[in-house]
Structure 1
Amino acid sequence: MLITLKLSMIIMLISMLMMMMASILSKKTFMDREKSSPFECGFDPKSSARMPFSIQFFLIAVIFLIFDVEITLLIPLIMILKITNLIMYMMISMFFFFILLIGLYHEWNQGALNWMY
């Protein structure tokens, strides 16, 4: 027990010493022009990388990803159809569809699905 404690302390000391030396010896420049600019095949960018985008498109994309992941959760329902009885299968699948419909209704009610506000 004592040997394990000593070895863990030595390992911790060596790793902290290596991290401190790496941070002291590294040549970091935070205002480097090439690192702060977006990479565009080695050339200077033609326009600003901070171009505005449509927030409605972003919301629709996020909602699509959320519902797409939830739809992939339906795949195990197909697999358990063989090992469960029909009534239990229908109850589980209807409960899952009900949760999906509640989420869709909430997004619709919040106005996230309207393209124009």
Structure 2
Amino acid sequence: MVGDVLAQGSGSDLSSYLPLVFLLALGALFAGVSATLGALVGPKRYNKAKYEAYECGIEPSPQPVVGGGRVPVAYYLTAMLFILFDIEMVFLYPFAVSADALGVFGVVEIVLFIATVGFAYAYVWRRGGLDWN
């Protein structure tokens, strides 16, 4: 009985995955060959300029540039926090679409999600991550 089931379905089921396995193996082979050839064949002329900081083709200087210069790290932290909270809020859209079908369970889950995001927001605010000083 078990032999009949295996003989009927196993060959056709596994053969449908053969193109996917072949594509994954081909991709892994290409990545491995490319990384190896890049390390072996690539130029190895190291100089001081390659280890310097690169800022859009402008020579880095220790003095601040008038009318420009480096952007404070707080700007990037605020931008990353905005992206983080924005992506978290995107998860509310599927709930808004299927709120009727989810019922009370969905409401409880969304309240827990909003509370978690609210705690994270309060933590960042309390730690000074949103200050522009």
Give the TM-score, by structure 2 length.
0.54
Which of 41, 45, 66 is equivalent to 1:29? Answer: 45
- Relative to structure 1, the CA distance from residue 81 to residue 22 in structure 2 (aligned partners, 3 Å threshold; closer, same or farther) is closer
Number of residue equivalences:
95
Q: For the Cα contact (< 8 Å) 2:99–2:106, is it kept in 1?
A: yes
Residue deviations 1:69-117 (CA, integer Å, cap 9, x gap): 10111122123213222x223212211110111001100111111212x
Aligned to 1:114: 131
Whole-Å Cα distance in 1 between the matches of residues 43 and 122 of structure 2? 53
> Unmatched 5+ residue regions in structure 1?
1-11
CA distance in 1: counterparts of 2:84 and 2:90, whole angstroms: 10
Match of 1:3 in 2: none
Whether the 8 Å CA contact 1:38–1:49 is kept in 2: the answer is no
2:102 corresponds to which of 62, 74, 84: 84
The separation in 1 between residues aligned to 2:74 and 2:95, in whole angstroms, is 33
Relative contact order (alpha carbons < 8 A, sep ≥ 6): 1 or 2 greater?
1
Deviation at 1:28, TM superposition (A): 2.7
Q: Does 1:65 align with 2:80?
A: no
Q: Unaligned 5+ residue runs, structure 2?
A: 1-28, 63-68
**CA-atom RMSD, angstroms?**
3.4
Deviations 1:25-69 (A, max 9, x none): 4333232858x78596xxxx3443995321221121111011011
Q: Flag the structure with higher helix content.
A: 2
**Alpha-carbon distance in 2 for matches of 1:55, 1:26:** 35
- 2:114 is matched with 97
TM-score by length of 1: 0.60
